[in-house]
Chains A and B, each alone.
Chain A
């Protein structure tokens, strides 16, 4: 199995040149925010292991919210962030990236502080790669190549079904299954279809995963009483006095974000904000993100993050000494339906994380209420959202659920035998 990895560089920008940088970023797009896969700066399409990528300027519009706590506004650097989700090792990906997009990235990074003509690009990227607090992958091990091959498989099967509707009519499911197997085998043999077998999991990755599962799992369990105590003694009293601040997003900001959305089926989301002041919040949030990261790595690996099935990749990253946090995701459907899905299915999961951010709708015991105040929650998210200047999706128009279905079709074909009932269910996937 090939594991998915990620990259996020965030580099301070020269504020005076942000306008020029935005103009340059726009040249990479086909439509607002939608990357041209063959753009000359970063030809994303050539990076065959890349699932998603984005450029976003981390210009937090909510820095004044800290005044809720009678703390003066604090200034942070303005960052250019570049994020990628890809298959395989970081070293392999970076070498591809530098090979295909070296000059383009140099041009983009030239807007950043400290980047000069003489800078070693690869080293620079490695130096500015930020550690991720939590990362989520919809389906561990599903590569871009697999997604594309399985999409072709389904397409070929669809054509076959249409052309052979008459002969297949009235056949039992198991016979249809046998026939499809023969057909797909023939297509693979004559080279019209490629279905690459999954790669073996490298031993060091296997060992690393096992250590993480047990080691981090044990640490999480050990720390739990301390965190529970912290919530009881510190967080719960704070929840009673923390102020909500979720006004309606300003229409201009909302409009800017809307322009970038719903060009295909999948959408991007980038949002940032400041943590509530105090070490308790910082510790609790770090712990929670650690737990979520552990569950995402070991439990939620097969198409579901709790009950949510529309997220392809997501991550939380701390910034500026854990004073601020960035959340980025790639999801199916419109932002409203995404937020509805979250509120109705996992509002408690949103609360445990986002309620540590300033202004979040009031929660009880970290879990209750909060996002259930649907309108305030939606305002809160929209207000903290950032325009993603450039966004790349390797499989546009394909939902995570379709990818899962295509894999199930393939798994059915790969099975040695199928019972009549299993064959029936398999046929219904087609």
Chain B
């Protein structure tokens, strides 16, 4: 059998190098053993999960725990694990752990200030009124955790796993909150199938960033989800670096863009976590009222708000051509679409949740192939229509969602009969991963989901997530419009707030080498002086 060499080796041979020469590895490869598993896996098989919000009780004990914590890596294993643990830290937590101040200063401003760090951020994220951080159960000034430990397990295995782990860190951490989750069979509490669309990380690191993405792709540069690699601009997102002679650096990998430095961020990413309480009876009762208590119309209305059917089929037409990064077989069928064939929003409303969260557009609405018209189009000459070219290019604003539901399920039929307005707490522990919180999560939340002006709309924000707060002196934001073919759009007014934020924070999910590095930070106390 002929030995097939990787392309980079073949090229070197062709250039006349003998095979015993020192062969330069391709600039980049991702070592999955150094990445926490959550970046690659949703752990869907491990249906039991809980999120433990911890405060550091004893920094030395916490560091010792970091040295050996059995964190699950992102490499594929022959025998899928029965349990998995992931760990992430807030900026305050890293500081309490003893991470030197110059390293702390290397983290992004968003992470440093935290989700509730300033009022402007809360305004942008829509965390106002009943969703304001002052009302939260966790996070915010009163109870910011230091550490987030995520535990996933096969059915009936969680309790024991949790007890064992808690025993191992008893001296290090105290528990402030345990956020339980429930398994609603892949559906979120309103009843919709969830988690269908995810960006595909470019694990092979082939995307190098460029300025002309003219077809929609679901394959996203590794640097958008892992620090230390090129992002969609072809640049390296800021993260903390150490001098390579730093005695604590140990086996940290060098920074690709600055080989003289060691990269604390490499193979790490940020976790955005938000507890979103969903008023399921309120949601279905409102829709019931709008649809004359007809169960079918009620469901259709809910589906147009989401942009998918209850079972997850998109309302936009499936694309005839394959989309990079989306399975071209049946597995990808409910994700293989863009909104290009629906310019008037008559299939999927402009304001539908999935159209806001991921508009699936490119850098240019349409680019002529001749260079002169192309330059003219780049200078804005081609854009004439009311709605052409008004959304930002999607590829710079993707997030990887890893949330889990909490509370019991409640189907629409029961929900409308529910007597009490809010019977039981249920919702979503929303969790997403991104390398640049400001450009990814915050942008999607602010400019797309909560925006009352998204895609040329007025007076409406996300039909599910919107906080319905009027703008300024009373411009309403509680509408939802459904464009219709050759007819006046249907406008549903007076949407109540269906989702209330109950907690949230930004965490750093370190690479495993970085986690071990954190265990060493207290060893040399003279460092930060």
Contact = CB atoms under 8 A, between A and B. Distances in A.
B394 to A, nearest CB: 10
Contacts of B486: 172-173, 424, 427
A307 B381 CA distance: 8
Given A333-B451, A399-B453, A340 B386 contact: no
B488 A427 contact: yes
Interface residues of B, number: 51
Interface in B480-497: 483, 486-489, 491, 493
Interface string A225-269: 000000000000000000000001001001100110111110000
Interface stretch (A10-18, A112-120, A185-193, A298-306): A298-306
Interface residues of A, number: 57
Contact of B471 (A158, A254, A265): A265
A254 B503 CA distance: 25
Contact of A340 (B396, B451, B487): B396
Given A337-B447, A405-B456, A176 B238 contact: no
Given A165-B488, A264-B471, A340 B439 contact: yes
Given A170-B487, A397-B471, A405-B386, A375 B238 contact: yes
A185 to B, nearest CB: 19
Contacts of B483: 428
Interface string A131-175: 000000000000000000000000000100110010011111100
Contacts of B238: 248, 375
A305 B380 contact: yes
Nearest to B479: A158
Given A261-B120, A262-B124, A300-B380, A254 B488 contact: no
Interface string A290-320: 0000000000100011111100000000000
B112 A408 contact: no
Contacts of A402: 453, 456, 458
B488 A168 contact: yes
B378 interface: yes
A306 B379 contact: yes
A334 B124 contact: yes
Given A340-B439, A374-B439, A397-B472, A430 B489 contact: yes
B433 to A, nearest CB: 19
A161 B483 CA distance: 14
A244 B233 CA distance: 18
Contacts of A307: 378-380, 383, 389
B244 interface: no
Contact of B446 (A334, A399, A405): A334
B154 to A, nearest CB: 41
Nearest to A310: B390
A404 interface: yes
A264 B472 CA distance: 6
A82 B211 CA distance: 38
Contacts of B436: 375
Contact of B363 (A344, A348, A428): A344
A216 interface: no
A77 interface: no
Given A254-B109, A340-B439, A429-B386, A375 B120 contact: no
B456 to A, nearest CB: 5
B20 interface: no
B442 interface: yes
Nearest to B397: A340
A203 B475 CA distance: 40
A373 interface: yes
B393 interface: yes
B109 A248 contact: yes
Contacts of A405: 386, 456, 458
Contacts of B344: 428
B443 interface: yes
A308 B378 CA distance: 10
Contacts of B488: 161, 165, 168, 176, 427, 430
A309 B389 contact: yes
A33 B453 CA distance: 22
A341 interface: yes
A248 B110 CA distance: 12
B120 A161 contact: no
A336 B446 CA distance: 10
A374 B452 CA distance: 26
A304 B386 contact: no
Interface of A: 158, 161-162, 165, 168-173, 176, 248, 251, 254-255, 258-259, 261-265, 300, 304-309, 332-334, 336-337, 340-341, 344-345, 347-348, 372-375, 396-397, 399, 401-402, 404-405, 408, 424, 427-430
Interface of B: 109, 112-113, 118-121, 123-124, 211, 233-235, 237-238, 344, 363, 378-380, 383, 386, 389-390, 392-393, 396-397, 436, 438-439, 442-443, 446-447, 451-453, 456, 458, 471-473, 475, 483, 486-489, 491, 493
Given A309-B389, A375-B235, 17 more contacts: A248-B238, A254-B109, A261-B120, A262-B123, A265-B453, A305-B380, A306-B378, A336-B447, A340-B397, A345-B389, A347-B211, A372-B234, A375-B436, A397-B471, A397-B472, A401-B453, A401-B456
6 contacts: A259-B118, A334-B447, A344-B393, A348-B378, A396-B471, A401-B390
Q: Which 9 A-B pairs have the closest CB atoms?
A: A258-B120, A397-B471, A306-B380, A337-B447, A307-B380, A397-B472, A304-B380, A397-B475, A396-B472
